[in-house]
């Protein structure tokens, strides 16, 4: 019964239209429940990519490209953003920040979008000057080590625009769940003989320099967990990190192969385990599937989790949580659409 103990079956939820199919009402995030074999995770395959401009929007031709990405991957169970899955993966070890994820079923696929929590809103609105500066340093580091083209050189004097982004769209499978998700990519290796995307992509990070064993332990325990989850999901093979001093000057640069991170942390007492992260994500997606039954983009199932609590959900129709754009619903639903 250990495998199913994470589903709290003492309380049942019965939806109005699915009376005979009962879903568990909550899902435990207790890490001990997920120490099982590592689930199947297929090597992610890039099926498309798109860019966001300085206004954080994409043009019509990019909209079309996005539609085609989704349609070429017809039959996927979930369509989402890499960042949302990263939050789910790290949940069993998260002690500070909760999350809210909205899910809607449309044309057979479940779309998942994030809803900002009250705590996250307060954090965003009360960021200190120092926090803003540290975020800027991360973007500036990218300018120092990236060029616009293969024969180019970095232009560290350029203006930092945090809205512009290049995003990969990958398709993969976690156990029985077919996934399609997008994630921002910082850069690719210069080598023309590098493997095809996403195998040529590189994630860039900055972090405070490590001067004490305690700082190293904290880096392994907290920061590497998020770095690993973020890069493992889309199949980005390496992370290049700049370690900076108090003034933001990068003093060392280190490369972390994503596949070797679990080796780095294995001697750390009571540290995070990739298998727990992936099993929790797998069970969360199964939980979402068991709950999100009605195919209606205006019906939102809002999943909520807070540290040391179970995942719960509530159902909202035609509410402020509805997130699929009208243009998308219209294009995908059009009888004359070529996307069938």
- Over residues 195-253, the pLDDT tens digits come to 999 999 999 999 999 999 999 999 999 999 999 999 999 999 999 999 999 999 999 99
User: Following CA atoms 205, 210, 215, 221 in sequence, which dihedral angle do they give, to the nearest 10 degrees?
Assistant: 30
Mean of the per-residue pLDDT values of the chain: 89
Q: What residues does 317 pair with on adjacent strands?
A: 299
pLDDT > 70: what percent of the chain? 89
Res. 4: pLDDT tops 90: no
Confidence of residue 160 (pLDDT cuts 50, 70, 90): confident
From residue 16, how far is each of 13, 19, 43, 103, 291 by CA, in Å?
A: 10, 6, 39, 18, 12
pLDDT > 90: what percent of the chain? 75
> What average pLDDT does range 275-297 have in this prediction?
98
Res. 14: pLDDT tops 50: no
Question: What 3-state class would DSSP assign to 255?
Answer: strand
d(CA 293, CA 296): 9
Res. 336: pLDDT tops 50: no
Res. 83: pLDDT tops 60: yes
d(CA 146, CA 159): 14
Which of 316-337 are b and which e, b meaning 16 or more Cβ less than 10 Å from the residue's Cβ? eeeeebbebeeebeebbeeeee
d(CA 131, CA 321): 29
Q: What are phi and psi of 152, to 5 degrees?
A: -85, 175
Res. 16: pLDDT tops 60: no
């Amino acid at each position: 019964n250990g495998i199913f103990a994470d589903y709290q079956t003492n309380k049942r939820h019965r939806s109005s239209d699915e009376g005979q199919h009962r879903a568990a009402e909550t899902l435990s995030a207790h890490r001990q429940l997920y120490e099982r074999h590592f689930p199947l995770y297929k090597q992610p395959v890039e099926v498309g990519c798109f860019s966001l401009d300085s206004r954080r929007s994409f043009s019509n031709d990019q909209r079309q490209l996005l539609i085609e990405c989704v349609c070429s991957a017809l039959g996927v169970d979930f369509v989402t953003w890499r960042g949302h899955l990263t939050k789910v993966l790290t949940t069993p070890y998260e002690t500070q920040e909760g999350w809210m994820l909205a899910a809607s079923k449309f044309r057979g696929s479940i779309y998942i979008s994030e809803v900002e929590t009250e705590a996250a809103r307060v954090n965003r609105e009360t960021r200190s000057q120092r926090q803003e500066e540290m975020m800027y340093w991360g973007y500036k580091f990218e300018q120092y080590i990236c060029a616009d083209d293969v024969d180019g050189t970095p232009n560290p004097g350029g203006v930092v625009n945090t809205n512009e982004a290049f995003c990969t769209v990958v398709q993969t499978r976690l156990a029985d769940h077919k996934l399609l998700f997008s994630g921002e990519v910082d850069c690719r290796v210069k080598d023309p003989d590098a493997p095809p995307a996403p195998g040529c992509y590189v994630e860039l990070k900055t972090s405070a320099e490590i001067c004490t064993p305690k700082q190293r332990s904290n880096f392994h325990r907290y920061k590497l967990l998020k770095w690993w989850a973020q890069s493992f999901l889309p199949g980005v093979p390496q992370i290049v990190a700049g370690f900076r001093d108090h003034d933001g000057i990068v003093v060392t640069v280190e490369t972390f192969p994503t596949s070797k991170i679990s080796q780095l942390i294995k001697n750390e007492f009571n540290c995070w385990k990739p298998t727990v992260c992936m099993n929790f994500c797998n069970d969360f997606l199964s939980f979402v599937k068991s709950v999100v039954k009605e195919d209606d983009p205006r019906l939102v199932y809002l999943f909520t989790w807070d540290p040391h609590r179970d995942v719960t959900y509530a159902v909202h129709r035609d509410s402020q949580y509805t997130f699929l754009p009208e243009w998308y619903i219209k294009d995908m639903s059009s009888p004359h659409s070529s996307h069938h």
